[in-house]
Amino acid sequence: MAVKTEYLNQTMVSHFILQGLMYTAEHPGLFFLLFLLIYSITVTGNLLILLTVGSDPHLRSPMYHFLGHLSFLDACLSTVTVPKVMAGLVTLDGKVISFHCCAIQLYCFHFLASTECFLYTVMAYDRYLAICQPLHYPVAMNRRVCAGLAGSTWATGAVHSAIHTSLTFHLLYCGPHHIAYFFCDIPPVLKLACADTTINELVMLANIGVVAAGCLILIIISYVFIVAAVLRIRTAEGRQRAFSTCTAHLTVVLLYYMPPVCIYLQPSSTGAGAGAPAVFYTIITPMLNPFIYTLRNKEVKQALKRLVISKLTKSEIKMRTKRQNLWKSNETSCHIRKPLSYSSSKDFEYCIEHK
């Protein structure tokens, strides 16, 4: 599990062993099926939302453009962690992760998670413009601005993750190599470093704290203005319609922000038990997002119905076309072939009946 290096006459680990989630070792088969079900629902649901938003012409507003990005992020975020958790439940080798793969997993996780954090802020700003400044909304959130905001979330997330990954794996790791967590994250990996991690922890608290707190403050400010604008609407139907476009976003924001606050503001509390809060925003929240946005949004539900109906209609048309082509080929063969050339009397009777 280790290779020699001349750096400080220490031994640098080449692999880590993921301890996994608490209580899963007692019933690995049951938890494997559970995580497989969750992962299947997550990927299927988010890809279905992405397909619906991309194919339905009625869902061309910026809100659904950002929803498509969110669905893609959720599917990818779940893919970064869940398959490795399932592999660790099947075999002992599934718990082993190489040093470089650990760095890649940490980078991908923080890249996707921070991008999603920025995207939630952009989505709150979009709702603010749509409800508080409806007349200026088409101009303020045109296609170019919408694409620029979405692209900036991805770019900022990539830079943010690169900083943390480089700082984390710049340290020397000489053992032990057991990560008391179910994936490679900054707090549990730093506990294995053979060097002073004070600077890393300060940067982590400052960077992640500033980013998360800043995004959350902007979201709260946006919703303060949104609530004030909605309360000024005279009709109850208008208020309900305005709130319905925000409740789904506000629900997933609360589910997403609360667990990381418990984890990254207390780096010393890492362990197999500390992985429970992370399960919510890495595994559970990506699964719930498609249901939250679908059940609370009539336009998405109608678009899903249209998508399903169109797919069924296309498949039915293909089946009818195949039957018609088969019918025509049978009719042609009946006219051309002589009775004695049929392989059986049933074929001849079939052609006689369908002439």
Q: Look at residue 257 in the predicted model and tell me its pLDDT.
A: 77
- 143-169 vs 198-231: helix crossing angle, rounded to 10: 160
Q: Look at residue 318 in the predicted model and tell me its pLDDT.
A: 67
Lowest mean pLDDT among 168-182, 287-301, 340-354: 340-354
pLDDT digits (tens, 9 = 90+) for 7-39: 444 557 788 999 888 788 888 899 999 999 999
Alpha-carbon distance 262 to 59, whole Å? 36
Alpha-carbon distance 344 to 61, whole Å? 62
Alpha-carbon distance 322 to 337, whole Å? 22
Compute how many other C-beta atoms are within 10 angstroms of the C-beta atom of residue 123.
26
pLDDT digits (tens, 9 = 90+) for 151-189: 999 999 999 999 999 999 988 888 788 888 889 988 889
- Two tokens at 89? 């439940």
Q: What percent of the chain has pLDDT over 90?
A: 30
Q: Global pTM?
A: 0.80
Q: Look at residue 105 in the predicted model and tell me its pLDDT.
A: 95
Direct distance between the N- and C-terminal alpha carbons of the chain, in angstroms, rounded to an integer: 77
Residue with tokens 């589910």: 255
- 62-90 vs 285-295: helix crossing angle, rounded to 10: 150
Is 262 in contact with 212 (CB distance < 8 Å)?
A: no
What would the 3-class secondary structure string for 93-147 be?
HHHEEEHHHHHHHHHHHHHHHHHHHHHHHHHHHHHHHHHHCCCCHHHHCCHHHHH
